[in-house]
Amino acid sequence: MLDQLLYVPIAAILYSYIAGWIREWRYRQSALKHDCALPSYLEYRPLGIPMAIRTVKAHWKNELIQLLNKIVDDSGKETFRAQTLGLLGYNAFYSSNPENIRAVLTTKFDDYSYGLRHDVFHPLLGDGIFTVSGSRWHQQRALLKPQFNHSQVYELDHFKHACTQLLELMRIYSQRGYFDMQDLAFKFTLDTTTLFLFGESTGCLDDEMKRLHENGQDQAGKTCLFAEDFNKAQLWMTYRMMAQSFYWMVQGREFRGSVKRCQTYVDHYVSKALVKREKQQEEQQQQPRQSLLDELTKRTRDPRALRDQVLNLLLAGRDTTASLISLVIALLVRHQDIQRKLREAVIESMGVNEENISHNQLKRCKYLQNVINETLRLYPVVPMNGRQVARDTVLPRGGGEDETLPIFLPKGAQFAYSISQLHRNQSYWGDDAAEFRPERWVNHGPKHSWTFLPFSGGPRACLGQRYALTEASYAIARIMQQFKELKGAPPGGPIKLHLSLTTRVAGGVSVQAS
C-alpha cells in the first residue's frame, strides 16, 4: 500500500509536465493564429511550488514587493508569461509596460474582468463597485460618480476637527517618546471618512484622547471596536486573495464575526438615512447635502445595495489616505533636508495658522504636491493589480526579443501588472528612479502619461482620488505648521511594506514631533 502511495506524487509531476506541454502547444498555435509573437516564459517546476513557497515566505517577511521586483529585474523583461501553482496551472501574464497597462485599462477594457475577486471579497464588500464587473459595474459607477463631482466633497471642514485631535495626540505622545504615526493616521482617516459617508464620525481620535485623559485606562468606546473588526475582516480577505482558487477554504468564526459586526454597524446608519429620506419626502422638504449616504438614498432605497457601497468606499477612503500620510511621514523622517524644505514651502504659502489653508492654497503649494507625488511614485498604495481575461485578446507589447511585438492572451488567463515596477523603471524615470527626490517634479512630470498611475487609470480610475489628495495635503500641511521637526526612531533603515488589500508600512511609522 505504501509503495503504491509513492507513485501518486510521481504521477502528479508527470501529469503536470504532459499537461504543460499540451497547454504550451495550444498557446503557440493560438498566438500564431492571431499574428502574435511569444513573450518570455518563466517556469517554476514542479507544479509551480517553488515560486509559491518563495511568495509566502516573502509575504510573511514583508518583502513581497522586493521579491516581485527582483523577479522582474532578473528576467530583464517588462512583460512575460509565468507558470502558476497547481496540477493544470493556467496561463499567467505579467507586465509593467505602460502600453500594455493602458490597453488593459482603456482600449481593451471590456476584454477583462475581475475574475475571482467578487467571490473572494463578497462576504464583506458584497456587490460594491470594487467587486463587480460588466453591466453591474457600470450601474455602480453611474450611481457614485456624481457624488464625487460635488464641490462640498472638497471642503476642508470634513477634516478640521479630526486633524486638530490628531495634532494634539501627536504632541502628547511625543512628550513621552516615540509613537506610531501610522496608527493615528488610520484612526484619523476612519473618523473623516465616516463623517463624509454617514454625517457622523466614529470618533476614534476622541476616544483616544479620552483614554489618555483618564489616566491611561482603556476606555475605548464601541466605535473603535468597529475599526478592529474592519481590520480583522480585511486581513482575512487578504488571506483569501492569496489562496486564489482555494479562497473558499479560508474562513472561520473570527472572520464571520468581524464581517457581521461591520455590516451591523453600517446597517445602523443606512437605516437612519432611509428613515430621514422617507420623512423628507412626506414633508416635501429639500435638505442641503449632509452626507454621501444621504445623497445615495435619492438614487436607491435598497438597504443591501447602500451597505455594500458604503463599505467599499470606507475601505478606499480610510486605507488609501492613511497609507499615503504614513508613507509621506516615513520618508520625511528619513530625509530631514526635504522635510525642512517642505516646512518652509508650507509656511511661505500658508503661514502658521490653519485658517490660512484653503483647497486652492494646497494645490498651489507646489513642493507639497511634489512630495506627495514622489511618495506615490515610490510607494503606490496599490502596488500590484490584476485582471482575468474574459475573452481571447491581444496586447501591443511583449513579444519577441525586444518586446516590441504583440502577444496573445487566451480567455481565462490571469494578467497582473505592477505599478511599483512601472514607477521605478529607469527608462521612464532616469537613473535615480529608486531615489526619493521630489525635485524631479519641478520642471516636468512623467515622460509618458501612463507611467504614473497611483490611482489606476481609465474607466476604473479611483473616483475619490481628489478627495484623498486633498485630505492628505491638508493633514501634512497642518503637521508642518504645527511642528518644527519630526524625528524617526533609530535605526531608520529602508521602508518595508506590508501588503494587504492596500499597503501599510510594516511595523508602523515610529515618530517623535517637536
Residue numbering of the annotated binding site: 462
Supply 17's cell numbers: 509536465
The answer to whether the beta carbons of residues 393 and 409 sit under 8 Å apart is: yes
Inter-CA distances, 288 with 166, 174, 201, 461, Å: 29, 41, 19, 28
Give the number of other CB atoms < 10 A from CB of residue 58. 17
As a whole number of angstroms, the longest Cα–Cα distance in the chain is 81
**Distance (Å, whole) CA 265 – CA 421:** 38
In the chain the first and final C-alpha atoms are separated, in Å, by 72
Q: What kind and span of H or E run contains 15?
A: helix 2-33
The answer to whether the beta carbons of residues 244 and 277 sit under 8 Å apart is: no
Q: What is the 3-state secondary structure (H, E, C) of 420-449?
A: HHHHCCHHHHCCCCCCCCHHHHCCCCCCCC
Residues 287-293: contacts with CB under 8 Å, at least 24 apart:
289/150, 289/152, 290/199, 291/195, 291/196, 291/197, 291/198, 291/199, 291/200, 292/147, 292/196, 292/197, 293/197, 293/198, 293/199, 293/269
Residue bearing cell 459617508: 197
**Distance (Å, whole) CA 251 – CA 123:** 10
Report H helices in 283-351.
Answer: 292-296, 303-334, 336-350
Instruction: State the Cα angle at 149 between 367 and 155, rounded to 5°.
Output: 55
Q: What kind and span of H or E run contains 385?
A: strand 384-389
Which 8-state DSSP code applies to residue 37? P
What is the b/e burial string over 487-499, where b = at least 16 CB atoms within 10 angstroms of the residue's CB?
Answer: bbeeeeeebebbb
The answer to whether the beta carbons of residues 124 and 262 sit under 8 Å apart is: yes
**Distance (Å, whole) CA 267 – CA 198:** 11
Q: Which residues fall in the annotated binding site for heme?
A: 462
Q: Which of 478, 185, 488 is nearest to 343 (CA)?
A: 478
